[in-house]
Chains A and B, each alone.
Chain A
Amino acid sequence: MSPFQLGAALVALAGALVALSARDIRLALGGLLVAMAVAALVADPIPSPLAVAVRLVAAGLGAELVLIAVRDRPADASGSPIGPLSPLLAGAAAFVVGYATSGVGSPAAGPPAATAAGFGLAALAIGPLVYGRDVVRVGLGMALLVTAIELVRAGLAGTPTAVEQLATAGLSLAVLGLTAVLASAALAANHSLAIEGEGQRTTLFEAHPVAAGAPPSTPRGQRRPAAAPRPDGAAHQLTLEERLRRSASEPDDSAG
């Protein structure tokens, strides 16, 4: 195995680890970009510069789309919930397994480093893909799995043709583009990237605030009178921002 391929495979693995561990979304996307770009080089023979450039441009464009979708919003990738060490060990173990089983019962037409890196990336990607709770993390998992499978494919069946490289670039762009659209939609709908579990409440205030203290207690056995309709309609459903805006626009009763 050539040192270049081994080095490229390890760099791809490191990039994937950064992508899944970093909490800063820019850093995570940078790691993903490195992993996707370097993965194209782990093949024997190395693809043409044009093919590598196409895949690099597609990955960069896709990462930029995700960045645009979450720009100016308080949204960060959640990072790995179990820290970077466990994914690192899992990825390293899968890397070794992939290297040792290159070909998997068939004569491999590509370098073992590609299969090894593919297994490593797949092991890293499965976690966020299955258990990911926010859109960007799931998207990173999908993009890494696509990269992983392309590496495994290069390890088993040799260097992809130029047409397949183009199709793979389109696939990367489609996955990251989908992630960008979903992230944008999740932020618009939920003010958060979370799609699983308890998301952030869209109503910032509690639904039934106790404005004037607790209601007077009712003697036992006596029915409480029905509450009068609220004079301000559905004001209790307004967000904090809407309440403040309304109170600023209304005349101050206490002044008179």
Chain B
Amino acid sequence: MSPLPFIVISLAAAAASLVAGRRAGPATVVGLAGLLLTTLAAGLISPGQSVRLGSSDLLVGSAYARQFLVLAGATGLITCLIGLATTWPAGLPAAMLAGLGGIGLALSVTDPLVAVVVLLATAVAISLAALSAPITIADVRAVSRSARLIVLAGALAVASLAWVAASLGGIGADPGAFGLADLAIVVATAVRFGTIPFHRSVAGLTNSAPGPAVPLVLVWGPAALAVVAVGVTNGAVYPLLVPSGIGQLVIVILATATLVLGAVGAWLQDDLEHVVGYSIIQDAGFVLLGLAAAGADGGAASRSWLLILVVVKTAFAAWATVVAVRFRTARLPELGGWARRSPLLGIALAGIALATIGAPGLLAWQVRWSLVDGVTGGLPALILVLGGLASLLYYGRIALVGLGRQSLLVAAATGDRPVSPARTGPTGQTIRSAWEANRAPIASGLVLVLVVLSLLVAAGGLGGPEAARAVGPLAAPSAGPLDISGPSFVPPQASPSG
């Protein structure tokens, strides 16, 4: 099946969810059903199936887009269910569906310029998911700042892609222009992820956005842009075309600062939502390394890491949401003994840490080493590896707090043990009362499902590595002006005559 049905279903379901938004019940049902249908439709996308417009391919299905969309759809559905059991942001399913539709379109089009414009429009639209009632002026300010950065990053990406397209369409282009243009695309990706030093808006967004909306706003959209960036640069341009490797050096410095300072930032934060935000920033450092890595291996590793990032960070944000709702606080100093009170959430945090960092034999571990090896060696590589492992600092701090003495708030919270409802009324009422009485264990169980999914992806299951190695529509031979991956491509050199 081509990607078209997926896109139509997701956008139609988003519209239906918005229309039904005034009534909570129908909006919830439509949103959840839409997410389920969208996930199923994503799973039916066939690599190579295309939709033609005139004489050229408009949309082309790929194994990687299918994998990305299935994982995003499934984690989105579980996140919405967690939201139902904890804090339900009314417009979340609609925003997720619109986001999935936009990302699906962008990952399927053959023209990278269209892909970036679509992603830009999608990111601007779904940034509204960060607003939830009651809306304060600080929320408006945070979304406005985030939207400004989105537009700036998009403008940078469009301009650089147009610049490269013009060069490849003609002759006598300046080779340095290629390197600068690719550097601009990478910087645009860095701005979208909010890596160091573009991280200011992330803190504001994590403050204002409801927990379940955080991955949609901070991970999915930027990750899709990174996929497009990997597709158009293919990691082959920097060593060839950037004079003296300066571009690669700039990216590696950005990545190093992001890995180290992101971990320190997450470690210093007392608020769990901020910890999640900074952890996303930190892991985006590996995305930058992937964009700087040379060759097809670098591209595959980068795409694998993006899959892991999408699932693991969604799980971490969901975990933080459940902890904040169960214990009525998101501040670490007030969360003493949380893991002893809720062993399910403790196991979930351990799983999230394992899926993020990996272990020898797991895909996440290999990908991290591969990305570091791809760009540098020696002492800089050691710094990068240690920077990546620095995430143990904040995971360890959260775990230590959880194993300590129980605070009053934690002691007052319900445990993991399910409560059986009193069978006094009809079946529907019994189910409803069971749901109401067991929200905490249900939410914790759903987080565990997300963690299991994360571990599967981090271990290389579900066909992730194969999908990451497959050629996407942007790197296909028929990709058009930006096809730089084929053997026939010869980088334009400055002619002797100038």
A residues bordering B, Cβ < 8 Å?
103-109, 122, 129-130, 135, 138, 141-142, 145-146, 148-150, 152-153, 156-158, 160-161, 163-164, 167-168, 170-171, 173-175, 177-178, 181-182, 185-186, 188-190, 195-196, 199
> Do A189 and B137 touch (CB < 8 A)?
yes
CB-CB under 8 A from A105, the residues of chain B are 167, 173-174, 176-177
Task: Give Cα A5–Cα B140 distance, bound, in whole angstroms.
Answer: 39
Of all chain A residues, the one with the shortest Cβ separation from B139 is A185
CB-CB under 8 A from B128, the residues of chain A are 178, 181
> Do A106 and B174 touch (CB < 8 A)?
yes
Residues A107 and B172 in contact in the complex (CB < 8 Å), given A138-B148, A152-B162, A189-B136? yes
Residues A145 and B152 in contact in the complex (CB < 8 Å), given A105-B177, A135-B144, A156-B162? yes
The answer to the question of B226 belonging to the interface, with a C-beta cut-off of 8 Å to chain A, is no
> Do A182 and B151 touch (CB < 8 A)?
no
Task: Give Cα A150–Cα B159 distance, bound, in whole angstroms.
Answer: 8
Task: Give Cα A156–Cα B143 distance, bound, in whole angstroms.
Answer: 32
Partner of B127, one of A153, A178, A196: A178
> Do A129 and B148 touch (CB < 8 A)?
yes
The answer to the question of B141 belonging to the interface, with a C-beta cut-off of 8 Å to chain A, is yes
In the complex, given contacts A178-B127, A195-B144, what are 20 additional A-B residue pairs having Cβ atoms less than 8 angstroms apart?
A: A103-B166, A106-B170, A106-B174, A107-B172, A135-B140, A135-B144, A142-B151, A145-B152, A163-B53, A163-B109, A164-B111, A164-B117, A167-B117, A167-B121, A171-B117, A177-B125, A178-B143, A182-B147, A186-B140, A199-B137
Of all chain B residues, the one with the shortest Cβ separation from A193 is B140
> Do A156 and B124 touch (CB < 8 A)?
no
Partner of B141, one of A142, A175, A195: A195
> Do B166 and A178 touch (CB < 8 A)?
no
| 7 A-B contacts (beta carbon < 8 Å) | A105-B174, A107-B172, A167-B114, A181-B128, A182-B140, A185-B131, A195-B141
Partner of B159, one of A149, A161, A174: A149
CB-CB under 8 A from A171, the residues of chain B are 117, 120-121, 124
CB-CB under 8 A from A181, the residues of chain B are 128, 131
CB-CB under 8 A from A109, the residues of chain B are 165-166, 169-170
Partner of A178, one of B124, B141, B154: B124
> Do B140 and A157 touch (CB < 8 A)?
no
Task: Give Cα A107–Cα B481 distance, bound, in whole angstroms.
Answer: 14
The answer to the question of B135 belonging to the interface, with a C-beta cut-off of 8 Å to chain A, is yes
Q: Which of B262-311 contact A (CB under 8 A)?
A: none
The answer to the question of B158 belonging to the interface, with a C-beta cut-off of 8 Å to chain A, is yes
> Do B118 and A175 touch (CB < 8 A)?
no
The answer to the question of B431 belonging to the interface, with a C-beta cut-off of 8 Å to chain A, is no
CB-CB under 8 A from A190, the residues of chain B are 137, 140
The answer to the question of B1 belonging to the interface, with a C-beta cut-off of 8 Å to chain A, is no
Task: Give Cα A141–Cα B109 distance, bound, in whole angstroms.
Answer: 28
> Do B140 and A195 touch (CB < 8 A)?
yes
Task: Give Cα A141–Cα B149 distance, bound, in whole angstroms.
Answer: 12
> Do B166 and A108 touch (CB < 8 A)?
yes
The answer to the question of B435 belonging to the interface, with a C-beta cut-off of 8 Å to chain A, is no
Partner of A163, one of B111, B143, B144, B174: B111
The answer to the question of B344 belonging to the interface, with a C-beta cut-off of 8 Å to chain A, is no
The answer to the question of B155 belonging to the interface, with a C-beta cut-off of 8 Å to chain A, is yes
CB-CB under 8 A from A178, the residues of chain B are 124-125, 127-128, 143, 147
Of all chain B residues, the one with the shortest Cβ separation from A142 is B151
Task: Give Cα A214–Cα B400 distance, bound, in whole angstroms.
Answer: 55
- Which of B167, B170, B172 has the most CB atoms of chain A within a 10 A radius of its CB? B167
**Nearest 10 CB-CB pairings of A with B:** A107-B170, A105-B174, A171-B121, A106-B167, A153-B162, A156-B162, A149-B155, A157-B162, A167-B117, A157-B165
> Do B114 and A146 touch (CB < 8 A)?
no
Task: Give Cα A71–Cα B167 distance, bound, in whole angstroms.
Answer: 47
> Do A188 and B135 touch (CB < 8 A)?
yes
Contact with A along B39-61 (1 / 0, CB 8 A): 00000000000000100001000
CB-CB under 8 A from A182, the residues of chain B are 140, 143-144, 147
> Do B118 and A156 touch (CB < 8 A)?
no
CB-CB under 8 A from A189, the residues of chain B are 135-137, 139-140
Of all chain B residues, the one with the shortest Cβ separation from A169 is B121
> Do B113 and A164 touch (CB < 8 A)?
yes
Of all chain A residues, the one with the shortest Cβ separation from B168 is A106
Task: Give Cα A129–Cα B172 distance, bound, in whole angstroms.
Answer: 36
> Do A107 and B171 touch (CB < 8 A)?
yes
- Which of A122, A161, A182, A188 has the most CB atoms of chain B within a 10 A radius of its CB? A182
**A138 to B: closest C-beta gap in Å:** 6
The answer to the question of B163 belonging to the interface, with a C-beta cut-off of 8 Å to chain A, is yes
CB-CB under 8 A from B139, the residues of chain A are 185, 189
**A55 to B: closest C-beta gap in Å:** 12
Of all chain A residues, the one with the shortest Cβ separation from B174 is A105
> Do B159 and A170 touch (CB < 8 A)?
no
Task: Give Cα A153–Cα B116 distance, bound, in whole angstroms.
Answer: 12
CB-CB under 8 A from A156, the residues of chain B are 159, 162-163, 165-166
**A131 to B: closest C-beta gap in Å:** 11
CB-CB under 8 A from B165, the residues of chain A are 109, 156-157
Task: Give Cα A254–Cα B279 distance, bound, in whole angstroms.
Answer: 65
CB-CB under 8 A from A150, the residues of chain B are 158
CB-CB under 8 A from B171, the residues of chain A are 107
Contact with A along B161-195 (1 / 0, CB 8 A): 11111110111111011000000000000000000
Partner of B163, one of A104, A130, A141: A104
> Do B148 and A142 touch (CB < 8 A)?
yes
CB-CB under 8 A from B173, the residues of chain A are 105-107
Task: Give Cα A199–Cα B161 distance, bound, in whole angstroms.
Answer: 40
> Do A195 and B151 touch (CB < 8 A)?
no
> Do A146 and B144 touch (CB < 8 A)?
no
Of all chain B residues, the one with the shortest Cβ separation from A195 is B141
CB-CB under 8 A from B58, the residues of chain A are 163
CB-CB under 8 A from A135, the residues of chain B are 140, 144
CB-CB under 8 A from B144, the residues of chain A are 135, 138, 182, 195
Task: Give Cα A146–Cα B117 distance, bound, in whole angstroms.
Answer: 10
CB-CB under 8 A from B140, the residues of chain A are 135, 182, 185-186, 189-190, 195
CB-CB under 8 A from B169, the residues of chain A are 107, 109, 157-158
CB-CB under 8 A from A129, the residues of chain B are 148, 151-152
Task: Give Cα A18–Cα B125 distance, bound, in whole angstroms.
Answer: 26
**A125 to B: closest C-beta gap in Å:** 9
**B101 to A: closest C-beta gap in Å:** 11
**A217 to B: closest C-beta gap in Å:** 40
Task: Give Cα A189–Cα B148 distance, bound, in whole angstroms.
Answer: 21
CB-CB under 8 A from B167, the residues of chain A are 105-107
Task: Give Cα A32–Cα B147 distance, bound, in whole angstroms.
Answer: 19
**A251 to B: closest C-beta gap in Å:** 35
